[in-house]
């Protein structure tokens, strides 16, 4: 689970807001199995992105495949039914790997362009499978 921790003053205690109170990328929405050399979008479910004060920043999806990063532009849409939920869509891209195996498990995370990595649920790591 994602965690937010706030430092309350220099001498005050740390306060854990818990996973439900911070921006976090939770999971892959839809299929997490992607054929190689075929352009595909990846959609991720995130929560609480509205808590960022500068909501207009661009996002990127980063896949780590065989130790190399593949950065793809992404756009964010709010969930009309639940204002805390957002869909992050990683733009069309052809993914590939060279390892001599039938399937390759890749790590995916989201970052705000030229700034920082958005917190991710541990369940998200290895959730993208290339074949």
Q: Is residue 30 included in any domain, yes or no?
A: yes
Mean pLDDT of 47-68: 87
Q: Is residue 16 included in any domain, yes or no?
A: no
The answer, yes or no, to whether residue 129 has pLDDT greater than 90, is yes
Give residues with Cβ within 8 angstroms of 107, minimum separation 6: 63, 64, 125, 126, 128
Task: Note the pTM of the prediction, 2 decimals.
Answer: 0.83
Q: What's 47's domain CATH number?
A: 2.60.40
- pLDDT category at 12 given cuts 50, 70, 90 is very low
- pLDDT category at 14 given cuts 50, 70, 90 is very low
Distance CA 5, CA 25 (A): 17
The domain total for the chain is: 1
Q: Is residue 91 included in any domain, yes or no?
A: yes
Range of 112's domain? 22-130
């Amino acid at each position: 689970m994602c965690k937010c921790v706030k430092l309350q003053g220099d001498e005050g205690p740390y306060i854990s807001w818990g996973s439900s109170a911070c921006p976090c990328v939770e999971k892959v929405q839809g299929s997490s199995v992607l054929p190689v050399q075929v352009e595909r979008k990846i959609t991720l479910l995130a929560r609480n992105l509205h808590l960022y004060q500068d909501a207009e920043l661009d996002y990127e999806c980063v896949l780590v495949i065989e130790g190399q990063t593949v950065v793809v532009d992404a756009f964010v849409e709010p969930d009309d039914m639940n204002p805390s939920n957002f869909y992050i869509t990683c733009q069309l891209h052809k993914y590939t790997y060279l390892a001599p195996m039938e399937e390759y498990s890749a790590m995916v995370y989201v970052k705000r362009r030229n700034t920082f990595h958005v917190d991710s649920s541990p369940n998200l790591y290895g959730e993208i499978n290339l074949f």
